[in-house]
Amino acid sequence: MRSILVLLASVLLWNPLHAKDYKVGERLPATAAQPAQAEIGWDDLMPPDWDPMQAVKGLNLATLDDADPRAIQALERLRASWDNAPTNPAMHGRRIRIPGFVVPLDWANKEVREFLLVPYFGACIHVPPPPSNQVIHVQPARALKGITAMDAVWVSGVLEIAYNKTGMGDAGYRLRNAQVEAYREKRR
C-alpha cells in the first residue's frame, strides 16, 4: 500500500514545468564548467566487466511478442539481474559529484527529506527502474524546499555501497548528508 501511495504522491508532485526540456530516458550531460576532481558519470558506478544485458544475450527481443513466454522469462531474468546488479567497489568512500533526476521517497510540508537519484528522466516513475548500480539513495544534509519529482540536480558527498530496496526502485549506493543543488548547463 505504501508503494502505491509513494507512486501516487510522486505523480502528483511531478511538475511538468521543471521537466519541459527532457524526454523519458534522456540523461543529463556533465558540463566542463563544473569542478572535475570529484565529478563522475553513471558508468563509473558499474564494475568494468559487468554487462547489464547479459541476462538476455543471444535472444532477439525484437522478434518476440510481449505475451511470448520466452520474452516474459527473459524480462524476468533481466529484472532480477538489474535488481541485484553489482556495485563498483572502487567507488566506496569516494567524494563524488554527479548529476541526475530526483525520485522523492520521503517528503512532508513540500520538503524532500530523502530521494533516489537516477540517471535518466522518467526512471522509476514513467519507466521501470534502472539497474540498482545506477540508483543512489540520497539523504540530503537538510530538507529540500522547491524540489519535486524528476527535477534535475547535482548531488555531492561521500558515496557508500549500501543496498536499499524501496517501493520506487532498488539502490546499490547511498549518499548521506549530501549537498544538493539545481542542475545547470550551458544551453546551445
Q: Look at the domain 2-46+86-182 and name its fold.
A: OB fold (Dihydrolipoamide Acetyltransferase, E2P) (2.40.50)
- pLDDT by residue (tens digit) across 103-127? 999 988 889 999 999 999 999 887 8
Q: What is the pLDDT of residues 128-166, one digit of tens each?
A: 899 999 999 999 999 999 999 999 999 999 999 999 999
pLDDT at 49 > cutoff 70? yes
pTM of the prediction?
A: 0.78
Whole-number Å distance between alpha carbons of 73 and 172: 24
Sorted by sequence, the CB contacts under 8 Å of residue 29 that are 6+ apart come out as 185
